[in-house]
Structure 1
Amino acid sequence: MISTLRQKPASLFLLLGAYFIVQVLVRLALPASLELDEGQQLYYAQWLSVGYDSQPPFYNWIQHGVVELLGPNRLSLALLKNLMLFASYGLVALAAAQVLKSRDLVIITCLSLLTMPQVSFEAQRDLTHTVALIFCTALFAFAMLRTLKAPSAWSYALTGVAIGCGFISKYNFVLLVAAALLAILAEPAFRRRLFDWRLLLTTAVAIAIVTPHALWFFQHMQEATSNTLGKMTDDDLTGMAQIVAGMKSLSTAVIASAAPTLLLLLIPFADIVASSRRTHPQASMLRSGNEWSRLIGRMMLIVIVALALMVLFGGVSAIKDRWLAPCFLLLPLYLCLKIEAAGLETPGQLRRFMAVALAIMVIVPAVLYGRVVGAGIIGHYQKQNVPYEQAIQAALASSPSRPILVLTSDQQMAGNIRLHAPDIPVTMTDNSGVAAPAKFDAQHPLLVIWRNFGKPNPPLPQSMKDWIAAYPGLTAQSFGEVALPFLHGRPHSLYSFGYAVYYSTTP
């Protein structure tokens, strides 16, 4: 395998393709119950909008197109995610090939993404917008390095595509772009690229992509930012307590993002560590570098400093490790650039790293599968163990005729209803692009499904009561509750849902 990877660059993409096909098959083999982000995606795929909620719409737009093509099913969800991750790995390889001479180090850079839990595991478990962010970061890295090395009109335009798509994938992408601009300005060899007329192409393309959502954003700023700001700040923390909490959170996020990669890369580069007692090559590696390593190193440092300033002066007290994905996606390339500049590359490094990469390629799908099908053994259930399909079918069976609309309590529930009753529109009490009919009758009833974290006797939420009350004459024709065992669970571990059928009997 090692010789094939060295001699045939396409074999790296074949290996990655096989791995992501396995990931798709694993998702299809798991129960037909959706995670949080999966449910949200199927719910929002019912309509196309320039803005949905606190997350930008890039992933929603693509998912909408895939659902229109393949239907609201697990294949639509798994295929898009794994195609986007496959493209991300490939773009990182292409970016590394721009600046690394060694093919071995290019392969190590690409497959090192497997060592990042946020990319290899969390992205598969239940992330969508972060997957889009990973893809846009990889595209931006490739386009930027290509522009700096061999500028052309298309490379400047591609950089604009990456920036525009990045802005509408996750708002924190702006930190990476700002860091890149400052890092380029600090490097004399690259500075002139910012004063090239073709930068207008980058700007024009990025603005064209961003503008539709930007107009929505400024009209819905509270809706677009409240959820994220709520996660980043804590009104109960002020002064030094907020700063301490924020710095602790930032430090933890940095360690969680970088430590697994740094530790696992000690395996392929063990020869460097082993000889350190005699020649101290690690000191040479720290001192060595070139304009490319300096650029990437400064970008990562600027992002971390910017987050620290947000803690010190912006009131931020909580930072999640996945928010650093754009920053540390370039960490393996930075390390490989330093190793190559120091002349510390050896033939055995790729062989040792392939053992690490292949092990992760086996472990990650196995854990994703085992944590669900083995949940009953340990008594700890995942969201995919919730028996949505059986509950939805029981609720549908209680209706005298096929409902014209389903009202439900949360986006995850809404997505699961779409999965198992794709012919029925699903709505919620707020932020819905699904129009409700003017009237519900016995031939066209309203089905209401809700839950209270699976607890027995779930009360109908007040927001749903208010929504129903807006239709004069609409009354409940039947109420019910279903308690079902978890999928792959213990027989006496039950999860409860409430449901009701509403329609008006008045003409």
Structure 2
Amino acid sequence: MMRKDVLVLGAFAAYFAAHAALRTWAGGGLEVDEGEMLVLGRRWQWGYGPQFPLYNWMQAASFALFGPTTLGLAALKNLVLWISVAGLYLGLRRVHALPVALAGALTLALLPNVVWEFQRASSHSIVLLAGVCWTVWAVMGVLARGARRDWVLLGLVVGLGGLTKANYWLVPVVLAAVLALGRPPLPDLPRRSVWPGLAVAGLVAVAILAWPYLWMLEHPDLTMASTGKAFRSEFGLVPGLEGLAEAAVGTVAGLLPVGLAAWMLARGRAVPAGPDWPGRLLVAAGIAGLGLSAVAILVAGATEVESRWLVPAYVLLAAGLMVQAARRATPAGLRRLWVACGVIGALTLGGMANHRLSAPGTGMIDFAPLAEAVDRMAPDVVMADYHIGGNLVLLRPGLAVLAPLAGAVPPEARRVLVLTRGGAVPDPVTAFALRGLEPPPEAAGRVVETVALPYLRPVEERFEVGAMLLPEVALSLAR
């Protein structure tokens, strides 16, 4: 690695360190994904319900170092974001000069999901991003050099990537498909024998994935618990078309900044610099990923599709477009890109400061009154959703909080407190709804208290939480 590469990675590290410092200094309440990490990320286990385990393992390590604190959350998030950018940059650096590789890496600054949403309120999607970027790094190493070590590293990256999120698998599938079927469009791609290397990579990946995936197979009810996210809507004449339309709108909005930047860069010199195949490979894989995602949406009849689910395809396509454009860019055009991305970074830091310090939202709720109410009730176990439970753990690290679909009520527990948003406990009992069980009528509990939580900045709204003690008959069924 050259000195200039170290400076580039250092600049990225300084940016993400500033975000981590801002989040820690601003404090306040937790977003929903942050709350989930406080509830689930304090312990080591092979599986965590519908979420794949890698980020939880990393979060447990961060909490072991910093404690279950905002610093423990922010430090890990920004470390993984830095790892993501570094992986994409170093992967492109294997086949391109620094300016082209840097332009490709700065693609992430032009994707709204990555530059804003992943920083604001994401967890597992961030480590998915890292898996995608380091897969690009590993594939470029295999194609550019092809030594046995490169295949071992590819297997390692794919194995870890398979522990991030289910949609990670889109990336190795489309890259392999393009490489297998797309040699005519990639005439300058190095020709190498791949079967021995694929066998090595496959063995390494299987060794990493075997035990966590065995846990998923043994707990299918927990593993598939969140599949309903894509099927919430009750309207739509043709199943899947509604979700496809939503995905199309999100794709256009998400890739528009990249398209504009690539168009402006490409209006430079007529003779492109560097090899053609890396950019063409990524563009083709990204298009294939979007096409495969569209087919999956239609076949599954998904009615709601969040754009962040398509980030793996976005990253491949956007990075490929920027690489191809940067190969034709003039030095002045590249300098304008550096300045524009610097401005975006500064605006993101300022916007995040405003969001953390003044904008009312889920992260600006004062949970201290609820923690005091829970202290008075002295429960053995608290059952709550991730947002409420995580904020309680932040204020009361020793409190036992049982998350949705995360295990049985401990047999020694006698006082189980159920907390629900909205100030009332519906019937059927929310405790059973959280567990995916159908309770009998006699399992209904009683609302002990409704706590109205203020926001940390003066607004008229209040966030109400209902507190209910679970009766003995319900307690026996929940175990």
**Aligned counterpart for 2:66 among listed residues 67, 70, 89:** 70
Q: How does 1:144-163 map to 2 (within 5 A)?
A: 144-163=139-158
Give the Cα–Cα distance (whole angstroms) in 1 for the partners of residues 10 and 232 of structure 2.
46
Q: Which residue of 1 aligns with 2:256?
A: 259
Question: What is the match of residue 479 of structure 1?
Answer: 448
1:232 correspondence with 2:218? no
Q: TM-score, normalised by structure 2?
A: 0.86
- CA distance, structure 1, for counterparts of residue 350 and residue 245 of structure 2: 33
Q: Where do 5+ consecutive residues of structure 2 fail to align?
A: 473-479
1:370 aligns with 2:366: no
- Relative to structure 1, the CA distance from residue 311 to residue 205 in structure 2 (aligned partners, 3 Å threshold; closer, same or farther) is same
Q: Does the 8 Å contact 1:96/1:333 carry over to 2? A: no
* Aligned equivalent of 2:374, options 389, 395, 399: 395
Asked whether the 8 Å contact 2:266–2:325 carries over to 1, the reply is no
- Where 2:464 maps in the other structure, the secondary structure is strand
Partner of 1:324: 310
Q: Are the counterparts in 2 of residues 264 and 356 from structure 1 also a CA contact under 8 Å?
A: no
Residues 393-452 of structure 1 deviation map (CA, whole Å, 9 limit, x = unaligned):
3431x24xxx46331321221111111111222124x52347625254xxxxx3625232
Question: CA–CA distance in 1 between the matches of 2:59 and 2:398?
Answer: 18
How do 1:140-289 residues align onto structure 2 when only pairs under 5 Å count? 140-188=135-183, 193=192, 195-228=194-227, 230-233=228-231, 236=234, 241-266=238-263, 269=265, 272=268
CA distance in 1, matches of 2:413, 2:385: 23
> CA–CA distance in 2 between the matches of 1:124 and 1:193?
40
Q: Distance in 2 between matches of 1:194 and 1:304?
A: 29
Displacement of 1:314 in angstroms is 3.5
TM-aligned CA distance change 1:423 to 1:311, over 3 Å: closer
Shift of 1:484: 3.4
SS in 1 for 2:118: helix
The reply on whether 1:294 has 2:280 as its aligned counterpart is yes
SS at match of 2:457: coil
1:438 aligns with 2:412: yes
Q: CA deviation at 1:219?
A: 2.4
CA distance in 1, matches of 2:298, 2:449: 52
Structure 1 unmatched ranges of 5 or more: 1-5, 276-280, 376-380, 441-445
Deviation at 1:495, TM superposition (A): 2.5
For 2:449, the aligned partner's letter is G
Rg larger in structure: 1
**C-alpha displacement at 1:223, in angstroms?**
3.2
Which amino acid in structure 2 is aligned with residue 232 of structure 1? A
**Amino acid corresponding to residue 62 of structure 1 in structure 2:** M
**Aligned counterpart in structure 1 of residue 292 of structure 2, from 306, 312, 326:** 306
Deviation at 1:371, TM superposition (A): 2.4
* C-alpha distance in structure 1 between counterparts of 2:448 and 2:240, whole Å: 50
Q: Distance in 1 between matches of 2:199 and 2:467?
A: 56
Contact 1:232/1:316 (8 A) holds in 2: yes
Would you say the 8 A contact 1:253–1:324 is kept in 2? no
Aligned residues: 459
For residue 494 of structure 1, the aligned residue among 462, 466, 470 is 462
> Given that residues 263 and 325 in structure 2 are in contact (C-alpha distance below 8 angstroms), is that contact kept between their aligned partners in structure 1?
no
264 and 501 in structure 1: CA distance in 2 versus 1, 3 angstrom threshold: same
**Greater mean alpha carbon deviation, residues 495-504 or residues 87-96:** 495-504
Match of 2:114 among 110, 116, 119: 119
State the Cα deviation string for residues 284-323 of structure 1 (Å, max 9, x = none). Answer: 98xx972223321221121122122223433233332111
Post-superposition offset of 1:263: 2.5
Aligned residues of 2:425 and 2:468 also touching (Cα < 8 A): no
Deviations 1:87-137 (A, max 9, x none): 111111111112223x22222222231111111111111111100100001
| Contact 2:55-2:124 at 8 Å conserved across structures | yes
SS of the equivalent of 1:448 reads strand
Deviation at 1:460, TM superposition (A): 8.6
Whether 1:87 and 2:71 are equivalent positions in the alignment is no
8 Å Cα contact 1:385-1:488 kept in structure 2: yes
Which residue in 2 is equivalent to 1:423?
398
- Judged with a 3 Å threshold, the aligned counterparts in structure 2 of structure 1 residues 340 and 39 are, in CA distance, closer, same or farther, namely closer
Relative to structure 1, the CA distance from residue 383 to residue 183 in structure 2 (aligned partners, 3 Å threshold; closer, same or farther) is same
| C-alpha distance in 1 between matches for 2:240 and 2:427 | 41
- Cα distance in 1 between the residues matched to 2:452 and 2:297: 45
Q: 2:96·2:275 contact (CA, 8 Å) conserved in 1?
A: no
Give the deviation of 1:235 after TM superposition. 7.6
Cα distance in structure 2, aligned partners of 1:192 and 1:393: 67
- RMSD across aligned positions (CA): 3.2
Preserved CA contact (<8 Å) 2:35 2:386: yes
Cα distance change, pair 236–42 in 1 and its aligned pair in 2 (3 A): same
Q: Which amino acid aligns with 1:241?
A: V
Structure 2: how far apart are the matches of 1:143 and 1:114?
22
Q: Which of the residues 328, 343, 346 maps onto 1:359?
A: 343
Given that residues 485 and 495 in structure 1 are in contact (C-alpha distance below 8 angstroms), is that contact kept between their aligned partners in structure 2? yes
Percent of matched pairs sharing the same residue: 23
Deviation at 1:262, TM superposition (A): 1.8
1:451 to 411, 415, 420: 420
Give the match for residue 46 of structure 2: 50
Aligned position for 2:380: 405
Matched to 1:486, the amino acid is Y
- Contact kept in structure 1, 2:104 and 2:319, CA below 8 Å: yes
Secondary structure at the aligned position of 2:238 is classed as helix
2:63 partner amino acid = V
- Once residues 194 and 406 of structure 1 are traced to their aligned partners in structure 2, the CA distance between those partners, rounded to angstroms, is 58
